[in-house]
Structure 1
Amino acid sequence: MRIPALVGASAAVVVLCACGAPQTRQDGAVRAGRAFGDALAAGAYGAACELLAPESREQLEEDGKRPCARALPSQDLPRGGGAARVDVHGRQALLRLDGETLFLSQFDDGWRVTAAGCVPEDGDEPYRCVLKGA
């Protein structure tokens, strides 16, 4: 499975910099990540798809060869619990929930999930993600 440069670069910036961010941006990223997890847990796949970044949604539909709401259940993503930690740098966020790690980007209309089901990797790539953009 390949990891897109976006996830690798985002992880490197967020993890290495660990720069502070205004509380409102941190809160926005946490709310979006929790809403994504809540939608998955409720089986509201259409709502979860609305919280995906456009490239992530397109990649999921392309890989699954069906619309997002039908392709998302087959990803078997963890249903993360409460937020353990959020690191925001610029318009990128790394959100560690209990049992789940998400990458998010801030768009004009709010935070969107760019990668989900991520686990730390050893070696050149910092994370391996089940769901990711191109």
Structure 2
Amino acid sequence: MSGNWIVHAAQVLLVAIVAVFVISPIVRRRGERAWSESREEGLRRSIAERKGRLYTGIIELDFDRDSGKISPEDHERMRSEAMSEVVALLKEEEAFEKGPRPRPAVIEGGDSVERMIEEYKRSRRRDPGARQT
């Protein structure tokens, strides 16, 4: 009976380890995504992050000019460069929003299924009198 507590402790430890591995993909540290994002969400997030950094940079440039850290000439040059980047980013964002949506990620084996569906559609077009299922 004196060895039973060791067995029970080992069982509890094993259950705790398994629980950590099962729960860890769901519960993540703050700021991490628990679930993966689609390509579209990733692009949208990337554009928003870049836009935020550019806007923050422009605000900091204005503050540095107002506080005398940089000359008005340097401010004008740097602000003009930043604004050019903002315009390019806004055009990219607009093209992304108006353009064709990216294809969703294909589940493993999905390409072969899509090929079979396309072959079936082509065969139906060639033989319109074929029996429908």
The normalised TM-score by structure 1 is 0.21
Between structures 1 and 2, the one with greater helix share? 2
User: Which structure is larger by alpha-carbon Rg, 1 or 2?
Assistant: 2
Higher RCO (C-alpha under 8 Å, 6+ residues apart): 1
Between structures 1 and 2, the one with greater strand share? 1
